[in-house]
Structure 1
Amino acid sequence: MSMQGFATQAAMMRLAFKRLLFTAALVLAMPLAAAAAEPATAIDRGAADAIAQQAKADQLLVLSYHDIRDDVARKGDPDAYAVSTQNFAAHLDWLSGHGYQPVALSDVIKASRGEKKLPPKAVLLTFDDGLRSIYTHVFPLLRAYRYPALMAVVTGWVDLPREKQVDYGPRMFTHDDFVTWDQLREMQASGLIEIASHSDNLHRGVTSNPQGNTMPAAITREWDAKAQRYESEAEYLARVRKDLSASAAAIKRELGVSPQSVVWPYAAYNSQTNAIADQLGMNVTFDLEGRHQAVGRDLHGLARLLMFDNPTVNDLAYELRHDEELDGVRALQVDLDYVYDADPQQQARNLDKLIERVKQVAPSHVFLQAFADPDGNGSADAMYFPNRHMPMRADLYNRVAWQLKTRAHVKVFAWLPVLGFELPDKALNAQLEIKASNPAETHRLNPFEPRTRKIVADLYEDLAVSGYTEGLLFHDDALLREDELRGQAPADPAARTQALIGFTQELARAAGKWRPKLITVRNLFAAPVLDPNSEAWFAQNLAAFNQAYDYTAVMAMPWMENSRDPQRWMDVLMTKVKQSPRGLARTIFELQTVDWRHQDRPIPAAQLKAMARRLQAAGARHLAWYPDNFIDDRPSTADAREIMSARGFPYLER
C-alpha cells in the first residue's frame, strides 16, 4: 500500500477517544440536569447561556482538505483525498449558514496566549501538500467567502522541476500539479492565506523493518538492509532536523516570513520531532484524529477532521453532529506466538491467515501480543521487537501491526506485561522478583524497585520506537496480593491499586515519547468487580481503572471462574459494571472463547452469541474476546462476524 493511503486509513477507522473531555462533560451536565427539574429563572437561563456560549468559544474545529477538482467521482475516486469543487463550495456555504466563524492560525495562536477569545463555532481550514488546485480552485472561493486558511506545502514539491515526478498515489504528479512560489506569494499577499511547512522531503515512506515494510519518514528509524541495522536515535533526529530546517528556510527565503506551524506528513509525529519544530520557531502542529478541541497553551497535535471520499454537505453535517462517544469497540486479542514460526515461509502463511480473518471479521481493534510466551505461563520470555533488556524472539511486531493497519484496516494496540518479565540475567531476575507465597503465581518483578521501573519503562519506549501502535493493553499480570512485598507496598488496598496505576502511567509516558496520544486499556480480573473486598487480593478496582485509563477490559470469563451458571454469572457482572461510575462507557467486556479448565474446549458459538446479545441488550458498548485462533478458524469467521464485527451490517464482503 502506498504511503498516500496512510492518513486515509487512519481517518476511515476513526473512533474518538475523549479522555478528560468526557469526564468534564459529565461533571458539567450534573448541575444543569438538576436545575432542569425546577423552572429556570431569567438569571438561571442567562447563566446557562453564558456557560454554553463560553464552552463554544473555547472550541476549535479544524478541517483538512487536499485536492479540489471539478472531475472528482461522486464516490470511489482513485484519489480518496480529492473533493469536488461543487462539494467544497457547498461546505463553505453550509459552514457560513450554520454559524461557523472562520479564524486564521494567528487567531488561534493569540487565543492560546490569552490575548483574545476565539468566537463561538470557530473553524480553521487547512490544505495539505501544496497542490495547484489551492490556487486555481480554492483561493477564488476563499476570497468570495472571505475565509482565511492555512496552506501546508512540501517545499521540495513547490516549483517541481519539469523533469521530475512525484508518486502521489493515484498517478505520477508533475510540475503542473503543484503550486509555484509566485502563486504562493500572490495568495499570501491577500491576507487570507498563511503558509505552513509540510516538510521538504518527508512526505514519503522509508523502510521500517527487515521484511521491507515502509512507514512515514518523519517517525521511523530507517532499516538499512545493506548494513543490517536500524538508524540510531541521533541519526534519525538529525535527518528530521535537516529536512525541517531546509523547509523553513525555503519558506522564509521565498515568502519573507518564517512559518509558525508544521503539518507533519500523514500526521505522523512524536514529542522529539515536535521539539525540533519548536526550536525552529514552529510551535503549532496538527493531527488527523478527532474533530474539536479546546485551545490551550499547547498547540501541538491539534485535531483535524480529514475530508476524504468526496463528502457531501450531508456527510459533513453528519460528521460534525455524530456523537463518537457512542461508538463501540470490537476487539480481537491475538497471540503473536501463533504467527511466529522458525520457517519464514510458514510464518508468512500464518500472517496471511491472520490478515484475511481480520479483514473478513472487521473488528475495530486488534490487541496484538508484543511479547513471546511460548511456555504459556503468563510472563514474557522474549520480545517481538528490538529492545535493550530482553531477548528478541523475532523482529515481528512492527510488520504484523503495520500489515493489520494497512491491509485489514483496524487499530492495533500493543499488548504487553506490566510486571511479568523473565529477565535473562538470572541473578538480577531473582533479586527483583516478587516472592509469591503461591508457587503457581505468575512470575512478576517488584514495581517498587527502581531497577524494575527503569527496565520496564525502557521496554515500553523500545516498543514505541520499533513500530506502529495506537494504544497499549496492560496485561493482567499487574496485581499485588495482600501478603506480598510487605514493608514496601502500601498496606491499604486502594493505595496499592493506585501505586500500580501510577506505574502503568509511567509506562504510557515512556511509550508516549515516540507515539503521541496513545489510548490505554487495562486488563481487570472479574473478582474485584463482583466483590469489592477482593481488591485486597488483587490491587485492582473498576472505578479507579475507569478514571485512570481510556478503557478497562474486564475479563468476563465465567468458565475461567468455574461458574456453574455462566449466563447468570455474566448477568451479575453486568449489574456491577452498571453500578460503577462510567461503567458502560469505559468497560470492555472481554469474553473467553475456550474453556481452559477443560482442555481448551471451545465455548459453543451459540452460547457466545447469546451472551454477546444479552450484554448489548443490557447496555454494553464494548466487546472483545480472547483467544482469537485464526490458525484453526476458531471461533469460525462467520460466527466471529456476528459478534465482533464493527460493520453496520456484519456480512462477508464480496
Structure 2
Amino acid sequence: MDLRLPAAARHAWAAHTLRSLFAAAALALAALAPAQADELLVLSYHDVRDDVARKGDPDAYAVSTQNFAAHLDWLAGHGYHPVSLSQVIAASRGEKPLPPKAVLLTFDDGLRSIYTHAFPLLRAYGYPALMAVVTSWVDLPRDQQVDYGPRMFTHDDFVTWDQLREMQASGLIEVASHSHALHRGVTSNPQGNSMPAAITRVWDPKAERYETEAEYLARIRKDLGDSVAAIKRELGVAPQSVVWPYAAYNSQTNAIADQLGMQVTFDLEGRHQTLRRDLHGLARLLVFDNPTVNDLAYELRHDEGLDGLRALQIDLDYVYDADPAQQARNLDKLIERVKQVGPSHVFLQAFADPDGNGSADALYFPNRHLPMRADLYNRVAWQLKTRAGVKVFAWLPVLGFELPDPALRRRLAIAASNPKETFRLNPFEPQARKIVADIYEDLAVSGYSEGLLFHDDALLRDDELLGQAPEQAAQRTQALIAFTQELTRAAGKWRPKLITVRNLFAEPVLRPDSERWFAQNLAAFNQAYDYTAVMAMPWMENSREPQAWMDRLVAQVARSPRGLARTLFELQTVDWRDNKPIPAQRLKTMARRLQAAGVRHLAWYPDNFIDDVPSTRDAREIMSARGFPYIER
C-alpha cells in the first residue's frame, strides 16, 4: 500500500511518521514471533570407490567417486550448507541456529575408502562430515577378516587410527561410535535366524533359553563402553554420538549411550527433519545403488507422503503346523507369494485364533500371560523383511485376550450385551490394562516389527460397562484411543518409531451417529494414528449393491479431515456368508474405481497364500507397490 497520497506534498511528515510506526510494529511482531525451527538433512554414505557399477553393484551401498563428487557439487550449487555434528548439537540447544538447507554428511563402518577417496573431496569443498567407526575393525589385525557381504574384508579395507587422527586434525571429520562389535547378527530364535546384535535377545540353543533383559543390557553396555574407551584413548576426544549398526536401537540402548556421553543417535528412515532438543533417532537418507545426481535430486524432492500403501493381511495360523517340515513349506509359500506380489507392507497376525472367534487363545511369541502356540512371529516377520523386502506390522488384539485362568478371565472381562460379541477384557480394569501392555512389550522384545495393527476388537457398546465407561460416545472413543497409545508406548520401549494402524468398522463412517454403538470415529482415528484401516467389506455388511455401498464409503471418507490421505481401504477377498472367494475381476474393478476416486491406500484380508487365492497374478495387479509389476525370477 502506497502511503504517499496525491496531496502528500503538504503532509510528508505524516507519511514518514506512519512508515516509522509500521516499521516499529513489524520489528515488535518479529520479536514476538517464535523463531523458525532449524531444518536438517542427513545423508548416510558407506563405501566410496572408483570401480562401482552404474547399477547392480554387488555392494549396494557403494558409491562411485565420480557420483560422490557430483553429489557434493550439486549440494553446493543448490544452496545446501554442510554442517558438523557439533553445529547440530549447538543448534538443538538454542545456541546458534543452523544455516538454511543444512546438511550433515555421515559415513558408516570406517572403511579405508573414506580416507583415500572421500576425504580429499571433502577437504577440497571444505565440507565437514561425521565418520562412524566400528572400533574392533579399526586397524583390524592382519590375520582377521570381516564378512562384509560382497566379500571378506581385511585390514586394508578399514581405516587405521593414524588415518583417523589425520582426518580429525583437519577440523572437518568428527568420529562417532558405530559400536565395538555389534555390527553383526546374533541367533534370534530357536529356528536359527540371525538379527542385529544391538536389539536382539540372543537365543542360546544349548541352554534353550533367551538372554535375559539384564544380560542383554549388560552386553550392550560393555560393548559401547569398550568403543568409547578406544576412541578416547586413540583420538583424545570421546565421541558425542553413536550410529547404531543397521539403525537398530531402542530406548534402553539409547539410555546406555546417554550415560556414556553419546546423546545423539541416528536412524535410516526419513529425509528431512525439524531439529529438536532430543537428538535421538535423527532421520537419515541412505545413499545406495550408486545414485547419480538426478537420482539424488529426485530422492530429496520426492514427497513420501504421496506414496500409496499396499498391504496383505496374513494369518500366521495358516503358516503354523505341528509338523516342522510342513510349517517350513508353508513359510516358503508365503515368502514366495509376497515377493511375487510385491506389496509395500504385510500385516502379520501375532496371535493364535484357531477357533476363529476373533480373540487370542495363544500367541506366537514368548510372553508373560498367554500360552505360546509356537515361537514363530519373529522368524516369519524377519523372513518377510529380508527375503520378500516388505515392511511388517504386527497385528494384535487390543482387548481380545482369552486368559488361561478361567476365574481371572471372568473377573476382567466385559459382560458383552451380545453373546456373539468377541471376548474382550475390560480396559477400565487396571490389571487388564497391565496384562495387555505386558503382551505388547513382550511382542516388541521378541522380534522385528515396524508398526502395529490394532485389531477390530477395540469397541465398546453404549450399554456395556455402565458406571465405568464414560457416558458420551466421543469420550468412550477417546478412552480406547488412549489405551492403544499406552500399548504403543509399551512396545516402543523396545521398538522405536512404530507406525500405528487401527481397524475401523464401516458403519461409524457411513453413519457417524453409530459411534455410540462402537466407540469408533474416523476423524478421531485419523488424528490419533498414522493410518486408519476401514473395513471396506460390503459383503460382510450384507450389502445388496456392493459397488454403490463402496462409493458411499469413499465419499464419506473424503469428507473427513485428512480422510483419503490417512485412510486405508481394507477389502475382503472372501464372502464369509458362503465362504466363497470374491471373483478376482470384481476385486480388480473395485480397486480401480477406488483409485480413480482418490483412494491412496489399499489392503485386503484374507490372503490365502496356501491355495494362491486370489491368484498371484491377480494379486500383483491389484496389490503390487512396484512402479511396474512384474514376475521376479
TM-score bracket for the superposition, by shorter chain length: over 0.9
1:590: which partner in 2?
570
Match of 1:165 among 133, 136, 145: 145
* Kept after mapping to 1: 8 A contact 2:351/2:360: yes
**Does the Cα contact within 8 Å between 2:59 and 2:150 map onto a contact in 1?**
yes
Offset at residue 437 of structure 1 (A): 1.6
1:215 aligns with 2:198: no
Q: 1:634 aligns with which of 605, 613, 618?
A: 613
For 1:445, give the aligned amino acid.
Answer: L
Question: Which residue does the alignment assign to 2:4?
Answer: none
What are the superposed Cα offsets for residues 256-294 of structure 1, whole Å, 9 maximum, x if unpaired? 000000000000000000000000000000000000111
Residue 460 of structure 2, aligned match among 477, 480, 488: 480
- What is the 5 A alignment of 1:443-592? 443-592=423-572
Write the deviation string for residues 173-218 of structure 1: whole angstroms up to 9, x where unpaired.
Answer: 0000000000000100011110000000000000000000000000
Count of aligned residue pairs for this structure pair? 607
CA distance in 2, matches of 1:558, 1:212: 43
Match of 2:347 in 1: 367
% identical aligned pairs: 85
**TM-score with structure 1 setting the length:** 0.92
Pairwise mapping of residues 27-42 of structure 1 onto structure 2 (< 5 A)?
none
Alpha carbon RMSD of aligned pairs, Å?
1.4
Partners in 2 of 1:137 and 1:217 — Cα distance? 30
Q: Is the 8 A contact 1:100 1:123 kept in 2?
A: yes
Distance in 2 between the 1:427 and 1:156 partners?
55
Q: 1:468 to 1:116 in 2, by over 3 A?
A: same
Moved more, 238-247 or 57-66: 57-66
Mapping 1:303-318, distance limit 5 Å? 303-318=283-298
Letter of the aligned partner of 2:369 in structure 1? H
Query: Hey, what's the Cα distance between the residues in 2 that align with 1:336 and 1:318?
Result: 38
| 2:629 equivalent to 1:650 | yes
Distance in 1 separating the partners of 2:294 and 2:42: 18
Q: Once the 2 structures are TM-superposed, how far is the Cα of residue 651 of structure 1 from its aligned partner? A: 2.3
> Contact between 2:474 and 2:515, CA under 8 Å: does it hold in 1?
yes
Indicate whether 1:604 and 2:556 are aligned: no
Counterparts of 2:531 and 2:130, CA distance in 1: 35
Please list, as runs of the form range in 1=range in 2, the aligned pairs for 1:319-468 lying within 5 A after superposition. Answer: 319-468=299-448
Q: Which runs of 4+ in 1 moved over 4 A?
A: 53-57
Given that 1:366 and 1:413 are in contact with CA atoms closer than 8 Å, whether structure 2 keeps it comes out as: yes
Q: Are the counterparts in 2 of residues 89 and 141 from structure 1 also a CA contact under 8 Å?
A: yes
Distance across 1 between alignment mates of 2:36 and 2:433: 42
Q: Deviations over 1:229-248 (max 9, x none)?
A: 00000000000000000000
The code of the aligned residue for 2:113 comes to S
Structure 1 residue 56 displacement after superposition: 7.7
Instruction: State the match for 1:289 in structure 2.
Output: 269
Letter in 1 for 2:327: Q
Deviations along 1:332-369, whole A, 9 cap, x unmatched? 00000000000000000000000000000000000000
SS in 1 for 2:280: coil
**Paired amino acid for 1:593:** T
Q: How does 1:18-97 map to 2 (within 5 A)?
A: 58-97=38-77
SS in 2 for 1:560: coil
Provide the C-alpha distance between the structure 2 equivalents of 1:154 and 1:308, rounded to a whole number of angstroms: 20
- 2:37/2:275 contact within 8 Å kept: no
Gaps in structure 2 of 5+ consecutive residues: 1-21
Contact 1:473 1:521 in 2 (8 A): yes
Deviation of the 1:431 alpha carbon = 0.0
Is the 8 Å Cα contact of residues 57 and 118 (structure 1) preserved in structure 2? no
Shift of 1:134: 1.0
CA distance in 2, matches of 1:650, 1:261: 41
User: TM-score, structure 2 length as denominator?
Assistant: 0.95
Structure 1 unaligned regions, length at least 5:
1-41
Shift of 1:649: 1.1
SS of residue paired to 1:301: strand
- Give the 3-state SS of the residue equivalent to 1:401 in structure 2: helix
Deviations 1:458-491 (A, max 9, x none): 0000000000000000000000000000000000
TM-superposed deviation, 1:652: 1.5
Written as runs of structure 1 = structure 2, the 5 A alignment for 1:131-150 is 131-150=111-130
3-state DSSP of counterpart to 2:281:
coil
2:228 maps to which residue? 248
**1:330 CA displacement:** 0.2
User: 8 Å contact 2:508–2:515 — kept in the other structure?
Assistant: yes
Q: 1:647 corresponds to which letter in structure 2?
A: R
**Aligned-partner SS, 2:346:** strand
CA distance in 1, matches of 2:630, 2:509: 35
Q: Which amino acid in 2 is paired with 1:624?
A: A
The amino acid of 1:62's aligned partner reads V
Q: Is the 8 A contact 1:159 1:179 kept in 2?
A: yes
Residue 438 of structure 1, CA deviation: 1.0
Once residues 55 and 525 of structure 1 are traced to their aligned partners in structure 2, the CA distance between those partners, rounded to angstroms, is 43
**Cα deviations by residue, 1:557-590 (Å, 9 ceiling, x for unpaired):** 0000000000000000000000000000000000
Q: Deviations over 1:88-129 (max 9, x none)?
A: 000000000000001000000001100010111000000000
Q: Trace 1:257-296 onto structure 2 (pairs within 5 A).
A: 257-296=237-276
Contact 1:57 1:119 in 2 (8 A): no
